[in-house]
Amino acid sequence: MELLFVALFGAVIGLAARYLLPGRSTQGSVLVPAIGTVTASLVWVALTWLGWNWAGGWIWWVSLGTAAAASVVLNLFISRRRIHADQRMLQRLATTGSPGTA
């Protein structure tokens, strides 16, 4: 049951990262929330396998903190990479008239 709450909080953290950080138009609407959800869930499961107590506070802080960090870092990385790829394609279209490599 706690894993469902962790996944929900991870999704909320991912939503917050999506709407508070720049580059929102460069990716799909569920990509960053999915990153937050998956990261929080995987860290939670890994920590429970390592014997961390789910009733303790540290497992929550580590799981949700990792989800927040992953959401922010990957959001910035993906949007920056997409913007550069779009600029390269625009240059290629302007010079060759074809989106493929010549």
**Closest alpha carbon to 50 in 58, 68, 89:** 58
CA distance 74 to 38: 13
| Predicted local distance difference test score (pLDDT) of residue 98 | 76
Query: Which of the pair, 96 or 16, is modelled with greater confidence?
Result: 16
Q: Which amino acid is at 27?
A: Q
Query: What's the pTM value of the predicted model, to 2 decimals?
Result: 0.87
Domain residue ranges in the chain: 1-95
Within the chain, residue ranges assigned H as helices are 2-20, 31-49, 57-96
Structure tokens at 98: 């074809």
Taking residues 68-97, report their average pLDDT: 93
| CB 83, CB 23: distance < 8 Å | yes
| Predicted local distance difference test score (pLDDT) of residue 4 | 94
